[in-house]
Amino acid sequence: MAMRPEIPERPTAQQVMQDAPVIPVIVLSAREQAVPMARALVAGGIRMLEVTLRTPVALACIEAIAREVPEAVVGAGTLRSAADAQAAALAGARFAVSPGYTRSVGKACHELGLALLPGVATGSEIMMAQEDGYTALKFFPALQAGGLAMLKAWSGPFNDVRFCPTGGITPHNAAEFLALPNVACVGGSWLTPADALAAGDWARVTRLASEAAALRRV
């Protein structure tokens, strides 16, 4: 396999999006799952890992991955406040993803030097994020908010924006999204199914990651 480029300690949002075709959206319910799961994803070729701040163990999981899996780049997802941004950075997150956008989240991430992929679903939200310097955006929830047709419509007025559609993306429709010129990567939870995590089925996680890593982008 070709050597992958080194990821800087503080990657840019563009580097986060360009590393692989898919950013896994991860929900961990036990601290013990974090390290073997991260190693399984890296073994499959996926190293940008979005651990969502949705469970009580999320920050501990981010900390464990940051400490024990140096080949991975762990980020925090579901960031909804400046306090979330601070907690994520303290735990060792190297990028952040939010389901929507607020100025206070944007400012906190900027001050922390944490690359942020802000969530947007409307033109006004894109404009607000752009005004604050963000041009690599998560389109969320992608399928529910207009899917491929919405991204095609945005490619005119927002032709300087690159999107990571997330929400409803599957191995079956990912390629259609990745074929759009304004899509840099997609996000999805299918790489880390809850039953595989609970069963410690790391071979399955690696297989799902390899299949995702092999998806083609334009």
The yes or no reply on residue 25 touching ligand 3PG (CB under 6 A) is yes
**For this structure, is 50 an active site residue?**
yes
Of 21, 167, 174, 202, which one interacts with ligand 3PG (CB under 6 A)?
A: 167
| Binding span for ligand 3PG by CB under 6 A among 30-38, 81-89, 162-170, 204-212 | 162-170
Nearer to ligand 3PG, 33 or 166 (CB): 166
Q: Do residues 215 and 178 lie in contact, with contact meaning Cβ atoms separated by under 8 Å?
A: yes
The yes or no reply on residue 98 touching ligand 3PG (CB under 6 A) is no
Q: How far is the CB of 35 from ligand 3PG (least distance, A)?
A: 22
| Binding span for ligand 3PG by CB under 6 A among 15-23, 28-36, 121-129, 165-173 | 165-173
| Binding span for ligand 3PG by CB under 6 A among 4-12, 108-116, 163-171, 208-216 | 163-171
Catalytic annotation, pick one of 63, 138, 152, 211: 138
**For this structure, is 138 an active site residue?**
yes
Of 33, 98, 182, 189, which one interacts with ligand 3PG (CB under 6 A)?
A: 189
Of 188, 205, 206, 212, which one interacts with ligand 3PG (CB under 6 A)?
A: 188
